[in-house]
Structure 1
Amino acid sequence: MTNSDILEQAPGNCSSTTYENTQNTRKSHQKQGRGPASGQKLDQQVKKHGKYKILFLPGETDALTFNMDLSNGIGIIVRTDADIKGATGWGNVSEDSKAICYIRLFEWFEIEDWSDKRVQGIINNKFKNAFTRWRCTLHKLYNNLLSDDIDPRNVCPRPDLTMEKWLEACDFIEDNDFQKKSRINTANRKKKPFNHTSGKRTMLNHYKEMIEKSEIELFRKTHVSKSKRGEFIDIVAESKYNEMIDMKNKAAEQDNEALAEPSIVKAVLGHRSGYIKGMGHGVQVLRSRESNVFAGIDLKEILLELESAKSEIVNLTNAYTEQRKKMDKMESDIAKMQGILQHIPNIPLDF
């Protein structure tokens, strides 16, 4: 993909001057950061192996491969290139700043079906979530300085932040509207009945690793304590799990095949618009007019086929490698024989 293609497809269609300035911006960030924090690791991997290939399956917002690298890359880009001045969210970031972010994204990742609006929406949401996390991190740093009786405007708390950017962060943190929203969000988080223990990896990734796919067992896997030998993180999570198991057993006794595990999870955990509880943000919630497009598609069956295809690719690769070794050995043996025959008179060597 050429630079002009990137500029055409990036939000805002930034000017060529903006693109040229991006290169200088990248150099300054690499001097400030701590290696991985400035994207040097991704630069090295791309230089050595080429761009990361990113593909999104229908109905999923996690990339089929390199999903963690994609998330880390977007996080780095947001921290180093997104303009936070006056931006309360990703939607308020300037169009030129967004375009610069997308330019860097395409330097590391080759995204299949980028012209698809669904794929563009997935990437945009990843930028939105990364920006929100970065804003929260800056807010925590600000509060930590206050708790230590330090004026946040006198100290830049991170080596990958310029003082100018940090002061811009202080401006939006001290804004009355931001303070009001922060108090509301803090109160809402306290209403959350329990947390999950899946870590940085999405629940969808945990689900794909399960030999026997089970939405109910996925809930157990992502809500047990790693330090308490598999005990649930709290009594509420354990109660919800037991309730789902009871519903599943009763449905089996009554031969109620219609009550599948996704329906049980939804009945126990409840429903939230635009989000599938128990599966995290890795699964895309389709609007009614979109759902017909994927009607009849069995994602579990697709995953099994993909795993089978991956296994076949590995087998073919191994077979090719073995055949290549045999051919190399044969060529080496022929060269040796020709060397020997050169010292024997009256033997033609044109075979």
Structure 2
Amino acid sequence: MKFNLDLSEPHVKGCLELLFSSSYKTFHHRCYTHYLKSGGGDSARNSPYEPLRDRPGYWTWLCDHFETEEFQKKSVIGKANRMKLAYVHKKGTKPFVALQHELSCDQISLYKECYCSDKGWASRDARQNYETMLQMQHENEQEGAIQLTEQQICEKVLGKAYGYIRGRGHGPKPNRRASSTSANTYQQMEEELASTEQTVAVQQNQLAV
């Protein structure tokens, strides 16, 4: 399958950058996992990750990077943040958007795919959320019911944080730049209006004299 991609389109470029970034992070995470399993330090340096066996210089650089104070600090913070999650999805680092495209499923079905596996649900809360969304979807189909989109159902059940629907990966984000630009434009208009009023007042005084 071939795609004709126009990199001059911001949304196309952004999507590619997101996928490349995700792949890069996934690979480095696997490298770090191998580094830890190999015992770290010189032991890990002497046992390079298989895909980097022909690139010893890069593997050595990664080992040095894993031992820096900055990386260790970020690692501790990352672990602490993950511990705060009520439950974790079961699809690794693959973007939800890419997964939804592969499965060609709706948003509620995608939630089940991400938080339920052959071993069961990620947690009772995850299962309850899914069942609640299904119930709301069923009620939504009844005659006379207030029509809600799937996104609205997900938002009502899962909640929203910083413009993202919880448990749904990348989602709608508020246009902070647009809001900031609007505020700045409004302030600029007020200043220009005040300046114009002052100029008119001065001219009126001059005419009166």
User: Is this a same-fold pair by TM over 0.5?
Assistant: yes
Letter in 2 for 1:152: A
Matched, 1:234 2:123: yes
Aligned counterpart, 1:33: none
Residue matched to 2:111? 219
- Cα 1:258–1:184 shift into 2, 3 Å: same
| Identical-residue share of aligned pairs (%) | 28
Aligned partners of 2:115 and 2:122 also within 8 Å: yes
Contact 2:32 2:66 in 1 (8 A): yes
Q: State the Cα deviation string for residues 252-281 of structure 1 (Å, max 9, x = none).
A: 668343433211211221224464445544
Q: What SS class does the counterpart of residue 50 from structure 2 fall into?
A: coil
Shift of residue 288, structure 1, vs aligned partner = 7.3
Of 45, 53, 64, the match for 2:2? 53
Structure 2 equivalent of residue 42 of structure 1? none
Question: CA offsets per residue over residues 295-342 of structure 1, 9 Å max, x none?
Answer: xxxxxxxxxxxxxxxxxxxxxxxxxxxxxxxxxxxxxxxxxxxxxxxx
Cα offset for 1:156? 1.9
For the residue of structure 2 that corresponds to 1:267, the secondary structure is helix
TM-score normalised by length of structure 1: 0.42
Q: How far apart, in 2, do the equivalents of 1:122 and 1:218 lie? A: 19
Flag the 1:156–1:217 CA change in 2: closer, same or farther, 3 A. Answer: closer
Give the C-alpha shift of residue 169 in structure 1.
0.3
Q: Does 1:151 align with 2:43?
A: yes
Q: Unpaired segments of 5 or more residues in structure 2?
A: 179-209
CA distance in 2, matches of 1:150, 1:181: 22
Tell me if the contact between 1:206 and 1:218 (Cα under 8 Å) persists in the aligned partners.
no
1:171–1:242 Cα change, 3 Å:
same
Q: Residue type matched to 1:261 in 2?
A: E
1:126 match: 19
Q: Secondary structure of 1:151's match?
A: helix
* Counterpart in the other structure of 1:265: 154
Selected match of 1:136 from 9, 22, 29: 29
Alpha-carbon shift at residue 243 of structure 1 (Å) = 2.6
Q: Provide the aligned C-alpha RMSD in A.
A: 3.3
Contact 1:203–1:280 under 8 Å retained in 2: no
Give secondary structure in 1 for the equivalent of 2:2: strand
1:130 & 1:182 partners in 2: Cα distance?
A: 19
Matching residue's letter, 1:268:
V
What pairs with 1:186-197 in structure 2 (closer than 5 Å)? Answer: 186-197=79-90
How far apart in 2 are the matches of 1:289 and 1:160?
A: 41
1:152/1:170 contact within 8 Å kept: yes
Counterpart of 2:100, as a letter, is L
Letter in 1 for 2:73: K
1:182 aligns with 2:102: no
* Closer/same/farther in 2, CA of residues 207 and 255 from structure 1, 3 Å limit: farther
Please name the residue that 2:101 is paired with: 205
